[in-house]
Amino acid sequence: MTAISIGKTDAATSIALPLRFANRHGLITGATGTGKTVTLQRMAEEFSAAGVPVFAADVKGDLSGIATAAPVTFWDVFGRKGHPIRASVQEMGPVLLARMLSLNDTQAGTLAIALKRAEDQSDFLLSLDDLRWQLQDMQDDRETVCQVYGNITASSIATIQRNILTLEQQGGARLFGEPPFKISDFIREVDGKGVVNLLHADDLMEAPKLYGSLIFWLLTELFRRLPEAGDLDKPKLVFFFDEAHLLFKDAPKHLLESIERIVRLVRSRGVGVYFVTQSPADVPDNVLAQLGNRVQHALRAYTPKEQRFVKAAARAFRPNKAINVEEAVLSMGVGEALVSTLVDDGVPMPVERIKVAKPSGQLGPLSDLERDEAIANSPFRAKYPSVTEGARYIWEFQNRQRAARGLSPLPETEVRERAPMSMDDVLAPLTTLQAARGSHHLRTLMTGLALIAAAGALSLMAGIL
Ligand SMILES: Nc1ncnc2c1ncn2[C@@H]1O[C@H](COP(=O)(O)OP(=O)(O)OP(=O)(O)O)[C@@H](O)[C@H]1O
Ligand SMILES: [Mg+2]
Protein backbone atom coordinates (compact mmCIF):
# COMPACT_ATOMS: atom_id res chain seq x y z
CA MET A 1 0.00 0.00 0.00
CA THR A 2 1.51 3.34 -1.02
CA ALA A 3 -1.56 5.56 -0.74
CA ILE A 4 -4.83 5.69 1.17
CA SER A 5 -8.03 6.09 -0.78
CA ILE A 6 -10.35 8.88 0.34
CA GLY A 7 -13.18 8.57 -2.17
CA LYS A 8 -14.22 8.71 -5.82
CA THR A 9 -15.17 11.35 -8.36
CA ASP A 10 -18.39 11.18 -10.39
CA ALA A 11 -16.34 9.56 -13.13
CA ALA A 12 -15.33 6.84 -10.61
CA THR A 13 -11.70 7.96 -10.43
CA SER A 14 -10.27 7.05 -7.05
CA ILE A 15 -8.68 9.99 -5.20
CA ALA A 16 -5.92 9.00 -2.83
CA LEU A 17 -3.38 10.45 -0.44
CA PRO A 18 0.15 9.09 -0.99
CA LEU A 19 1.49 7.75 2.32
CA ARG A 20 4.89 9.32 1.79
CA PHE A 21 3.26 12.78 1.78
CA ALA A 22 0.97 12.05 4.70
CA ASN A 23 3.40 13.82 7.07
CA ARG A 24 2.95 17.02 5.05
CA HIS A 25 -0.09 17.67 7.21
CA GLY A 26 -3.66 18.37 6.24
CA LEU A 27 -6.92 20.16 6.82
CA ILE A 28 -10.50 18.89 6.92
CA THR A 29 -13.08 21.68 6.87
CA GLY A 30 -16.81 22.12 6.36
CA ALA A 31 -19.94 23.45 8.01
CA THR A 32 -21.53 21.44 10.78
CA GLY A 33 -23.06 18.14 9.67
CA THR A 34 -21.35 18.06 6.26
CA GLY A 35 -19.23 14.95 6.92
CA LYS A 36 -15.93 15.99 8.56
CA THR A 37 -15.99 13.33 11.27
CA VAL A 38 -16.97 10.61 8.81
CA THR A 39 -14.07 11.67 6.56
CA LEU A 40 -11.76 11.57 9.58
CA GLN A 41 -13.01 8.07 10.38
CA ARG A 42 -12.49 6.93 6.79
CA MET A 43 -8.94 8.30 6.69
CA ALA A 44 -8.09 6.91 10.13
CA GLU A 45 -9.30 3.43 9.12
CA GLU A 46 -7.25 3.57 5.94
CA PHE A 47 -4.11 4.73 7.76
CA SER A 48 -4.60 1.94 10.28
CA ALA A 49 -5.00 -0.64 7.50
CA ALA A 50 -1.73 0.65 6.02
CA GLY A 51 -0.01 0.00 9.36
CA VAL A 52 0.06 3.65 10.42
CA PRO A 53 -0.96 4.37 14.05
CA VAL A 54 -3.41 7.20 14.53
CA PHE A 55 -4.35 9.59 17.31
CA ALA A 56 -7.72 11.34 17.26
CA ALA A 57 -9.78 13.21 19.80
CA ASP A 58 -13.35 11.94 19.85
CA VAL A 59 -14.98 15.27 20.49
CA LYS A 60 -18.64 14.34 20.22
CA GLY A 61 -18.30 10.69 21.17
CA ASP A 62 -19.28 9.69 17.62
CA LEU A 63 -15.96 8.23 16.51
CA SER A 64 -15.73 5.16 18.73
CA GLY A 65 -17.54 2.98 16.16
CA ILE A 66 -14.19 2.83 14.39
CA ALA A 67 -13.31 0.07 16.90
CA THR A 68 -15.41 -2.29 14.76
CA ALA A 69 -12.91 -1.87 11.91
CA ALA A 70 -9.53 -1.11 13.50
CA PRO A 71 -7.64 -1.90 16.72
CA VAL A 72 -8.45 0.91 19.15
CA THR A 73 -7.03 2.09 22.46
CA PHE A 74 -9.34 4.33 24.45
CA TRP A 75 -7.94 7.24 26.47
CA ASP A 76 -9.71 9.66 28.77
CA VAL A 77 -8.16 12.38 30.90
CA PHE A 78 -10.84 11.75 33.52
CA GLY A 79 -10.07 8.02 33.45
CA ARG A 80 -13.71 7.05 33.07
CA LYS A 81 -14.04 6.01 29.44
CA GLY A 82 -10.46 5.01 28.81
CA HIS A 83 -6.96 4.95 30.19
CA PRO A 84 -6.01 8.20 31.89
CA ILE A 85 -3.47 10.50 30.24
CA ARG A 86 -1.52 12.21 33.00
CA ALA A 87 1.39 14.57 33.14
CA SER A 88 3.18 16.47 35.86
CA VAL A 89 2.75 20.20 36.30
CA GLN A 90 6.47 20.51 35.58
CA GLU A 91 6.27 18.63 32.28
CA MET A 92 3.29 20.63 31.10
CA GLY A 93 5.46 23.72 31.35
CA PRO A 94 4.62 27.37 32.06
CA VAL A 95 3.21 28.32 28.63
CA LEU A 96 0.48 25.68 28.41
CA LEU A 97 -0.27 25.89 32.12
CA ALA A 98 -0.74 29.65 31.83
CA ARG A 99 -3.16 28.99 28.99
CA MET A 100 -5.12 26.41 30.97
CA LEU A 101 -5.27 28.84 33.88
CA SER A 102 -6.26 31.79 31.65
CA LEU A 103 -3.42 33.95 32.97
CA ASN A 104 -2.30 37.30 31.60
CA ASP A 105 1.38 37.97 30.85
CA THR A 106 2.25 39.20 34.34
CA GLN A 107 0.57 36.25 36.03
CA ALA A 108 2.16 33.88 33.51
CA GLY A 109 5.53 35.36 34.50
CA THR A 110 4.85 34.61 38.15
CA LEU A 111 3.85 31.07 37.25
CA ALA A 112 7.07 30.61 35.29
CA ILE A 113 9.01 31.76 38.38
CA ALA A 114 7.13 29.21 40.50
CA LEU A 115 8.16 26.40 38.16
CA LYS A 116 11.75 27.64 37.96
CA ARG A 117 12.04 28.05 41.72
CA ALA A 118 10.70 24.53 42.30
CA GLU A 119 13.28 23.22 39.85
CA ASP A 120 16.07 25.13 41.62
CA GLN A 121 14.90 23.64 44.91
CA SER A 122 14.83 20.15 43.35
CA ASP A 123 11.16 20.06 44.25
CA PHE A 124 9.28 18.19 41.57
CA LEU A 125 5.83 19.67 40.96
CA LEU A 126 3.53 16.78 40.18
CA SER A 127 -0.01 17.87 40.97
CA LEU A 128 -1.90 21.14 41.13
CA ASP A 129 -1.63 20.86 44.90
CA ASP A 130 2.16 20.85 44.64
CA LEU A 131 1.93 24.01 42.56
CA ARG A 132 -0.41 25.58 45.09
CA TRP A 133 2.04 24.77 47.86
CA GLN A 134 4.94 26.28 45.92
CA LEU A 135 2.95 29.47 45.31
CA GLN A 136 2.09 29.70 48.98
CA ASP A 137 5.75 29.28 49.85
CA MET A 138 6.67 32.06 47.40
CA GLN A 139 4.09 34.29 48.98
CA ASP A 140 5.52 33.62 52.46
CA ASP A 141 9.04 34.31 51.22
CA ARG A 142 8.17 37.03 48.74
CA GLU A 143 10.99 39.47 49.48
CA THR A 144 13.74 36.95 48.80
CA VAL A 145 11.92 35.58 45.74
CA CYS A 146 11.68 39.09 44.29
CA GLN A 147 15.42 39.60 44.81
CA VAL A 148 16.40 36.33 43.17
CA TYR A 149 13.81 35.90 40.40
CA GLY A 150 12.36 39.34 39.77
CA ASN A 151 9.22 41.07 40.87
CA ILE A 152 6.16 39.09 41.79
CA THR A 153 3.00 40.51 43.31
CA ALA A 154 0.67 39.09 45.91
CA SER A 155 -2.25 39.76 43.57
CA SER A 156 -0.72 37.65 40.77
CA ILE A 157 -0.23 34.79 43.17
CA ALA A 158 -3.79 35.17 44.42
CA THR A 159 -5.18 35.11 40.86
CA ILE A 160 -3.21 31.97 40.00
CA GLN A 161 -4.44 30.28 43.16
CA ARG A 162 -8.00 31.23 42.30
CA ASN A 163 -7.69 30.02 38.72
CA ILE A 164 -6.22 26.73 39.90
CA LEU A 165 -9.46 26.26 41.78
CA THR A 166 -11.48 26.94 38.61
CA LEU A 167 -9.35 24.49 36.66
CA GLU A 168 -9.95 21.89 39.35
CA GLN A 169 -13.68 22.50 39.15
CA GLN A 170 -13.44 21.74 35.43
CA GLY A 171 -11.80 18.43 36.30
CA GLY A 172 -8.31 19.66 35.43
CA ALA A 173 -6.74 18.15 38.53
CA ARG A 174 -7.09 14.72 36.94
CA LEU A 175 -4.64 15.62 34.21
CA PHE A 176 -1.85 16.09 36.73
CA GLY A 177 -0.48 13.08 38.49
CA GLU A 178 0.88 9.62 38.04
CA PRO A 179 1.46 7.29 36.30
CA PRO A 180 3.13 9.62 33.78
CA PHE A 181 1.91 9.15 30.22
CA LYS A 182 4.45 7.98 27.62
CA ILE A 183 3.74 9.24 24.13
CA SER A 184 5.44 6.18 22.61
CA ASP A 185 2.40 4.18 23.78
CA PHE A 186 0.48 5.80 20.93
CA ILE A 187 2.73 4.14 18.38
CA ARG A 188 1.67 0.51 18.14
CA GLU A 189 0.63 -2.09 15.62
CA VAL A 190 -1.68 -5.06 16.10
CA ASP A 191 -1.56 -7.75 13.39
CA GLY A 192 -0.05 -5.29 10.94
CA LYS A 193 -2.71 -2.65 11.56
CA GLY A 194 -1.88 0.68 13.15
CA VAL A 195 -3.62 1.23 16.49
CA VAL A 196 -6.14 4.06 16.55
CA ASN A 197 -5.81 6.00 19.82
CA LEU A 198 -9.08 7.69 20.65
CA LEU A 199 -9.16 10.38 23.30
CA HIS A 200 -12.63 10.62 24.79
CA ALA A 201 -13.05 14.38 24.72
CA ASP A 202 -16.69 15.31 25.11
CA ASP A 203 -16.31 16.04 28.84
CA LEU A 204 -13.13 17.93 28.04
CA MET A 205 -15.09 20.26 25.77
CA GLU A 206 -16.48 21.85 28.92
CA ALA A 207 -13.00 23.27 29.38
CA PRO A 208 -11.95 24.28 25.85
CA LYS A 209 -8.60 25.75 26.89
CA LEU A 210 -7.73 22.60 28.78
CA TYR A 211 -8.63 20.53 25.71
CA GLY A 212 -6.63 22.67 23.28
CA SER A 213 -3.61 22.79 25.58
CA LEU A 214 -3.65 19.06 26.23
CA ILE A 215 -3.77 18.19 22.52
CA PHE A 216 -0.97 20.65 21.83
CA TRP A 217 1.06 19.18 24.68
CA LEU A 218 0.69 15.70 23.11
CA LEU A 219 1.99 17.12 19.85
CA THR A 220 4.90 18.75 21.67
CA GLU A 221 5.69 15.41 23.34
CA LEU A 222 5.78 13.72 19.92
CA PHE A 223 8.28 16.30 18.75
CA ARG A 224 10.39 16.00 21.91
CA ARG A 225 10.44 12.22 22.23
CA LEU A 226 10.57 10.92 18.66
CA PRO A 227 13.87 10.80 16.80
CA GLU A 228 14.49 12.66 13.55
CA ALA A 229 13.08 10.42 10.82
CA GLY A 230 13.92 11.95 7.42
CA ASP A 231 11.76 10.95 4.44
CA LEU A 232 9.69 7.88 5.18
CA ASP A 233 7.52 5.62 3.00
CA LYS A 234 4.72 6.17 5.46
CA PRO A 235 4.31 8.30 8.58
CA LYS A 236 5.08 7.05 12.09
CA LEU A 237 1.79 8.48 13.37
CA VAL A 238 -1.07 10.54 12.05
CA PHE A 239 -2.57 13.02 14.48
CA PHE A 240 -6.11 14.36 13.97
CA PHE A 241 -6.92 17.54 15.87
CA ASP A 242 -10.71 17.97 15.85
CA GLU A 243 -12.27 21.30 16.91
CA ALA A 244 -8.88 22.80 16.17
CA HIS A 245 -10.19 26.35 16.47
CA LEU A 246 -10.16 25.84 20.25
CA LEU A 247 -6.38 25.81 20.18
CA PHE A 248 -6.04 29.01 18.22
CA LYS A 249 -8.89 31.09 19.60
CA ASP A 250 -7.56 33.98 21.74
CA ALA A 251 -4.14 32.33 21.87
CA PRO A 252 -1.35 34.78 22.76
CA LYS A 253 1.22 35.52 20.07
CA HIS A 254 4.01 33.48 21.63
CA LEU A 255 1.76 30.42 21.86
CA LEU A 256 0.77 30.81 18.19
CA GLU A 257 4.45 31.02 17.27
CA SER A 258 5.19 27.93 19.23
CA ILE A 259 2.30 26.05 17.58
CA GLU A 260 3.54 27.08 14.15
CA ARG A 261 7.05 25.88 15.02
CA ILE A 262 6.01 22.51 16.47
CA VAL A 263 3.72 21.79 13.50
CA ARG A 264 6.61 22.56 11.13
CA LEU A 265 9.18 20.50 13.04
CA VAL A 266 7.07 17.48 13.95
CA ARG A 267 6.90 16.64 10.24
CA SER A 268 10.55 15.57 10.33
CA ARG A 269 9.65 13.17 13.16
CA GLY A 270 7.36 11.38 10.71
CA VAL A 271 4.16 12.77 12.24
CA GLY A 272 1.32 14.10 10.06
CA VAL A 273 -1.05 16.57 11.71
CA TYR A 274 -4.59 16.99 10.37
CA PHE A 275 -6.63 19.90 11.66
CA VAL A 276 -10.41 19.48 11.60
CA THR A 277 -12.52 22.60 11.91
CA GLN A 278 -15.40 24.42 10.23
CA SER A 279 -13.55 26.97 8.14
CA PRO A 280 -9.95 27.39 6.95
CA ALA A 281 -10.23 30.87 8.48
CA ASP A 282 -10.08 29.19 11.94
CA VAL A 283 -6.43 28.33 11.33
CA PRO A 284 -3.74 31.05 11.34
CA ASP A 285 -2.09 31.65 7.95
CA ASN A 286 1.36 30.50 9.06
CA VAL A 287 -0.06 27.12 10.06
CA LEU A 288 -2.44 26.96 7.10
CA ALA A 289 0.48 27.35 4.71
CA GLN A 290 1.97 24.11 6.06
CA LEU A 291 -1.12 21.98 5.43
CA GLY A 292 -0.50 20.18 2.14
CA ASN A 293 -3.51 17.85 1.98
CA ARG A 294 -6.95 19.45 1.93
CA VAL A 295 -10.49 18.14 2.21
CA GLN A 296 -13.17 20.83 2.01
CA HIS A 297 -16.78 19.86 2.70
CA ALA A 298 -19.68 22.20 2.02
CA LEU A 299 -19.78 25.67 3.56
CA ARG A 300 -22.75 27.95 4.01
CA ALA A 301 -22.58 31.59 3.15
CA TYR A 302 -25.35 33.70 4.58
CA THR A 303 -23.35 36.63 5.87
CA PRO A 304 -20.73 38.72 4.02
CA LYS A 305 -18.10 37.26 6.36
CA GLU A 306 -19.11 33.74 5.40
CA GLN A 307 -19.01 34.69 1.74
CA ARG A 308 -15.43 35.84 2.21
CA PHE A 309 -14.61 32.46 3.78
CA VAL A 310 -16.02 30.69 0.70
CA LYS A 311 -13.78 32.75 -1.57
CA ALA A 312 -10.79 32.06 0.68
CA ALA A 313 -11.54 28.33 0.71
CA ALA A 314 -11.71 28.35 -3.09
CA ARG A 315 -8.41 30.20 -3.44
CA ALA A 316 -6.70 27.58 -1.28
CA PHE A 317 -6.96 24.99 -4.06
CA ARG A 318 -4.95 24.54 -7.24
CA PRO A 319 -7.58 25.25 -9.94
CA ASN A 320 -9.17 22.59 -12.11
CA LYS A 321 -10.92 23.95 -15.24
CA ALA A 322 -13.69 21.38 -14.90
CA ILE A 323 -14.69 22.60 -11.45
CA ASN A 324 -16.20 25.85 -10.27
CA VAL A 325 -14.92 25.67 -6.72
CA GLU A 326 -16.98 28.50 -5.26
CA GLU A 327 -20.18 27.09 -6.65
CA ALA A 328 -19.28 23.57 -5.50
CA VAL A 329 -18.43 24.63 -1.95
CA LEU A 330 -21.92 26.01 -1.57
CA SER A 331 -23.84 23.23 -3.26
CA MET A 332 -22.17 19.97 -2.20
CA GLY A 333 -24.22 17.42 -0.29
CA VAL A 334 -23.31 15.60 2.94
CA GLY A 335 -20.23 13.39 2.44
CA GLU A 336 -19.15 15.23 -0.71
CA ALA A 337 -15.91 17.16 -0.69
CA LEU A 338 -13.37 19.09 -2.69
CA VAL A 339 -10.02 17.43 -2.32
CA SER A 340 -6.43 18.12 -3.16
CA THR A 341 -3.56 15.97 -1.96
CA LEU A 342 0.16 16.22 -2.58
CA VAL A 343 1.25 14.02 -5.48
CA ASP A 344 4.37 13.26 -7.54
CA ASP A 345 7.09 15.56 -6.24
CA GLY A 346 4.97 16.87 -3.45
CA VAL A 347 2.98 19.27 -5.63
CA PRO A 348 -0.75 19.67 -4.85
CA MET A 349 -2.97 18.06 -7.49
CA PRO A 350 -5.66 20.18 -9.13
CA VAL A 351 -8.80 20.15 -7.00
CA GLU A 352 -11.28 17.29 -7.48
CA ARG A 353 -14.86 16.94 -6.32
CA ILE A 354 -15.48 13.56 -4.71
CA LYS A 355 -17.87 11.48 -2.68
CA VAL A 356 -15.98 10.38 0.41
CA ALA A 357 -16.07 6.59 0.71
CA LYS A 358 -18.14 5.26 3.59
CA PRO A 359 -15.96 3.96 6.44
CA SER A 360 -16.09 0.19 6.89
CA GLY A 361 -16.55 0.51 10.66
CA GLN A 362 -19.77 1.45 12.39
CA LEU A 363 -20.82 5.11 12.12
CA GLY A 364 -21.64 6.51 15.54
CA PRO A 365 -20.61 5.41 19.01
CA LEU A 366 -19.95 1.96 20.46
CA SER A 367 -22.22 0.81 23.26
CA ASP A 368 -20.87 1.28 26.81
CA LEU A 369 -20.60 -2.48 27.11
CA GLU A 370 -18.45 -2.79 23.99
CA ARG A 371 -16.25 0.04 25.16
CA ASP A 372 -15.81 -1.44 28.64
CA GLU A 373 -14.83 -4.73 27.08
CA ALA A 374 -12.24 -3.05 24.87
CA ILE A 375 -10.78 -1.24 27.91
CA ALA A 376 -10.73 -4.46 29.96
CA ASN A 377 -8.81 -6.23 27.19
CA SER A 378 -6.34 -3.40 26.65
CA PRO A 379 -2.64 -4.11 27.21
CA PHE A 380 -2.45 -0.79 29.14
CA ARG A 381 -4.90 -1.84 31.82
CA ALA A 382 -2.19 -2.35 34.40
CA LYS A 383 0.07 0.49 33.32
CA TYR A 384 -2.64 3.17 33.27
CA PRO A 385 -5.44 1.95 35.57
CA SER A 386 -8.72 3.77 35.16
CA VAL A 387 -10.35 5.81 37.91
CA THR A 388 -12.85 3.13 38.88
CA GLU A 389 -10.00 0.69 39.32
CA GLY A 390 -8.04 3.22 41.36
CA ALA A 391 -11.14 4.05 43.38
CA ARG A 392 -11.33 0.50 44.68
CA TYR A 393 -7.88 0.79 46.30
CA ILE A 394 -8.65 4.11 47.85
CA TRP A 395 -11.85 2.58 49.25
CA GLU A 396 -9.95 -0.42 50.61
CA PHE A 397 -7.23 1.83 52.00
CA GLN A 398 -9.77 4.02 53.75
CA ASN A 399 -11.57 1.01 55.18
CA ARG A 400 -8.36 -0.41 56.59
CA GLN A 401 -7.72 2.90 58.28
CA ARG A 402 -11.28 3.00 59.59
CA ALA A 403 -11.08 -0.58 60.84
CA ALA A 404 -7.88 0.29 62.71
CA ARG A 405 -9.80 3.07 64.45
CA GLY A 406 -12.78 0.82 65.15
CA LEU A 407 -15.04 2.64 62.65
CA SER A 408 -17.58 0.89 60.42
CA PRO A 409 -16.53 0.38 56.77
CA LEU A 410 -17.65 2.77 54.01
CA PRO A 411 -20.23 1.24 51.64
CA GLU A 412 -18.98 -0.16 48.37
CA THR A 413 -20.42 2.34 45.94
CA GLU A 414 -19.27 2.87 42.39
CA VAL A 415 -16.40 0.49 42.87
CA ARG A 416 -16.09 -2.50 40.59
CA GLU A 417 -14.49 -5.82 41.53
CA ARG A 418 -10.90 -6.24 40.47
CA ALA A 419 -7.83 -7.78 42.01
CA PRO A 420 -4.58 -5.78 42.13
CA MET A 421 -2.46 -6.44 39.08
CA SER A 422 0.75 -4.52 39.52
CA MET A 423 2.63 -2.18 41.79
CA ASP A 424 1.42 0.70 39.62
CA ASP A 425 -2.14 -0.17 40.53
CA VAL A 426 -1.31 0.31 44.16
CA LEU A 427 0.76 3.45 43.67
CA ALA A 428 -1.70 5.25 41.36
CA PRO A 429 -4.53 5.57 43.90
CA LEU A 430 -2.04 6.62 46.55
CA THR A 431 -0.97 9.41 44.24
CA THR A 432 -4.59 10.41 43.88
CA LEU A 433 -4.86 10.34 47.62
CA GLN A 434 -1.80 12.47 47.92
CA ALA A 435 -3.30 14.98 45.48
CA ALA A 436 -6.48 14.98 47.52
CA ARG A 437 -4.66 15.63 50.75
CA GLY A 438 -2.00 17.89 49.32
CA SER A 439 0.53 16.42 51.68
CA HIS A 440 4.17 16.14 50.87
CA HIS A 441 4.60 13.61 53.61
CA LEU A 442 2.38 11.21 51.73
CA ARG A 443 4.77 11.23 48.80
CA THR A 444 7.57 10.17 51.12
CA LEU A 445 5.24 7.57 52.54
CA MET A 446 4.52 6.33 49.01
CA THR A 447 8.18 5.95 48.18
CA GLY A 448 8.61 4.18 51.48
CA LEU A 449 5.71 1.87 50.74
CA ALA A 450 7.12 1.08 47.32
CA LEU A 451 10.46 0.21 48.89
CA ILE A 452 8.82 -1.92 51.58
CA ALA A 453 6.75 -3.69 48.91
CA ALA A 454 9.83 -4.30 46.80
CA ALA A 455 11.72 -5.63 49.82
CA GLY A 456 8.73 -7.82 50.69
CA ALA A 457 8.61 -9.20 47.17
CA LEU A 458 12.33 -9.94 47.32
CA SER A 459 12.12 -11.79 50.64
CA LEU A 460 9.08 -13.65 49.33
CA MET A 461 11.05 -14.68 46.27
CA ALA A 462 14.00 -15.64 48.45
CA GLY A 463 11.62 -17.76 50.52
CA ILE A 464 10.31 -19.54 47.43
CA LEU A 465 13.81 -20.15 46.12
N1 LIG B 1 -19.03 9.91 3.51
C2 LIG B 1 -20.22 9.67 4.05
N3 LIG B 1 -20.92 8.58 3.68
C4 LIG B 1 -22.10 8.33 4.23
N5 LIG B 1 -22.70 9.09 5.15
C6 LIG B 1 -22.08 10.21 5.55
C7 LIG B 1 -20.79 10.54 5.02
N8 LIG B 1 -20.41 11.68 5.58
C9 LIG B 1 -21.37 12.04 6.44
N10 LIG B 1 -22.38 11.17 6.43
C11 LIG B 1 -23.63 11.26 7.26
O12 LIG B 1 -23.77 12.59 7.75
C13 LIG B 1 -23.79 12.63 9.18
C14 LIG B 1 -23.00 13.85 9.68
O15 LIG B 1 -21.64 13.72 9.33
P16 LIG B 1 -20.46 14.12 10.33
O17 LIG B 1 -20.81 13.73 11.70
O18 LIG B 1 -19.22 13.59 9.75
O19 LIG B 1 -20.51 15.72 10.21
P20 LIG B 1 -19.49 16.78 10.84
O21 LIG B 1 -19.06 17.65 9.71
O22 LIG B 1 -18.45 16.10 11.60
O23 LIG B 1 -20.45 17.61 11.77
P24 LIG B 1 -20.06 18.45 13.09
O25 LIG B 1 -19.38 19.70 12.65
O26 LIG B 1 -21.40 18.76 13.67
O27 LIG B 1 -19.21 17.58 13.94
C28 LIG B 1 -23.16 11.31 9.59
O29 LIG B 1 -23.67 10.85 10.81
C30 LIG B 1 -23.57 10.37 8.46
O31 LIG B 1 -24.85 9.85 8.69
MG1 LIG C 1 -17.90 16.12 13.65
Average the pLDDT over 439-464 and give the result.
54
Q: Are the C-beta atoms of 263 and 248 separated by less than 8 Å?
A: no
Q: Which residue has better confidence, 272 or 397?
A: 272
Three-state SS sequence of 101-160: CCCCHHHHHHHHHHHHHHHHCCCCCCCHHHHHHHHHHHHHCHHHHHHHHCCCCHHHHHHH
> Are 81 and 104 within one domain?
no
> Are 240 and 323 within one domain?
yes
Average the pLDDT over 116-125 and give the result.
94
The band of 419, judged by pLDDT with boundaries at 50, 70 and 90, is very low
Q: Is the CB of 333 under 6 A from ligand 1?
A: no
Question: What pLDDT sits at residue 438?
Answer: 47
> Are 337 and 411 within one domain?
no
Amino acid at position 68, single letter: T
> Are 204 and 226 within one domain?
yes
Q: Does the structure show a pLDDT above 70 at 131?
A: yes
Question: What pLDDT sits at residue 418?
Answer: 39
Pairing outcome for strands 26-29 and 293-296: parallel
Q: Does the structure show a pLDDT above 50 at 401?
A: yes
Tens of pLDDT, residue by residue over 239-273, are 999 889 988 988 889 889 999 999 999 999 999 99
Tell me if 202 is assigned to some domain.
yes
> Are 194 and 55 within one domain?
yes
Residue nearest ligand 1's atom 12 by CA: 35
Which ligand 1 atom lies nearest to the CA of residue 41? 18
Which ligand 1 atom lies nearest to the CA of residue 297? 21
> Which CATH number does the domain housing residue 251 bear?
3.40.50.300
Give the other-Cβ count within 10 Å of 350's Cβ: 14
Tell me if 460 is assigned to some domain.
yes
**Alpha-carbon gap, residue 84 to 424, rounded angstroms:** 13
> Are 79 and 97 within one domain?
no
Looking at the DSSP bridge assignments, the partners of residue 347 are 343
Tell me if 392 is assigned to some domain.
yes
Q: Is the CB of 30 under 6 A from ligand 1?
A: yes
Tell me if 363 is assigned to some domain.
no
Tell me if 248 is assigned to some domain.
yes
> Are 245 and 333 within one domain?
yes
Q: Is the CB of 38 under 6 A from ligand 1?
A: yes
Neighbours of ion ligand 2 (CB under 5 A): 36-37
Residue that is last in its domain, among 168, 198, 221: 168
**Alpha-carbon gap, residue 135 to 123, rounded angstroms:** 13
The band of 449, judged by pLDDT with boundaries at 50, 70 and 90, is low
> Are 235 and 325 within one domain?
yes
Tell me if 23 is assigned to some domain.
yes
Identify the sign of the CA torsion 155, 158, 163, 166: negative
What is the number of domains present in the chain?
3
Residue 49: helix, strand or coil by DSSP?
helix
Q: Does the structure show a pLDDT above 70 at 185?
A: yes
Residue that is last in its domain, among 146, 168, 190: 168
> Are 188 and 329 within one domain?
yes
Alpha-carbon Rg for the chain in angstroms: 24
The band of 447, judged by pLDDT with boundaries at 50, 70 and 90, is low
Give the other-Cβ count within 10 Å of 8's Cβ: 15
The total number of residues shown for the chain amounts to 465
Question: What pLDDT sits at residue 376?
Answer: 86
Q: Does the structure show a pLDDT above 50 at 416?
A: no
How remote is the CA of residue 58 from the centroid of ligand 1, in Å? Answer: 14
Q: Which domain holds residue 458?
A: 385-464
**Alpha-carbon gap, residue 57 to 112, rounded angstroms:** 29
Residue that is last in its domain, among 168, 203, 220: 168
Q: Which residue has better confidence, 319 or 420?
A: 319
How remote is the CA of residue 28 from the centroid of ligand 1, in Å? Answer: 12
Q: Does the structure show a pLDDT above 90 at 137?
A: yes
Q: How many CA atoms lie within 13 A of 177 on its CB side?
A: 29
Q: Does the structure show a pLDDT above 70 at 179?
A: yes
Q: Are the C-beta atoms of 374 and 366 separated by less than 8 Å?
A: yes
Q: Are the C-beta atoms of 394 and 429 separated by less than 8 Å?
A: yes
Average the pLDDT over 394-403 and give the result.
78
Nearest one of 93, 53, 25 to 263, comparing CA atoms: 25
> Are 55 and 196 within one domain?
yes
3-state class percentages of the chain: helix first, strand second, coil last, to nearest 5: 50, 15, 35
Three-state SS sequence of 56-111: EEECCCCCHHHHHCCCEEEECCCCCCCECCCECHHHHHHHHHHHHCCCCHHHHHHH
Average the pLDDT over 110-135 and give the result.
95
Average the pLDDT over 319-342 and give the result.
96
Tell me if 373 is assigned to some domain.
no
Question: What pLDDT sits at residue 420?
Answer: 36
Average the pLDDT over 302-329 and give the result.
92
pTM score of the predicted model: 0.83
Tens of pLDDT, residue by residue over 33-55, are 999 999 999 999 999 999 999 99
Average the pLDDT over 348-371 and give the result.
96
Question: What pLDDT sits at residue 465?
Answer: 46
Question: What pLDDT sits at residue 93?
Answer: 94
**Alpha-carbon gap, residue 62 to 38, rounded angstroms:** 9
> Are 253 and 314 within one domain?
yes
Mutation pick for ligand 1 pocket among 241, 356, 363 (CB with most ligand atoms within 8 Å): 363
Question: What pLDDT sits at residue 232?
Answer: 95
> Are 66 and 114 within one domain?
no
Tell me if 173 is assigned to some domain.
no
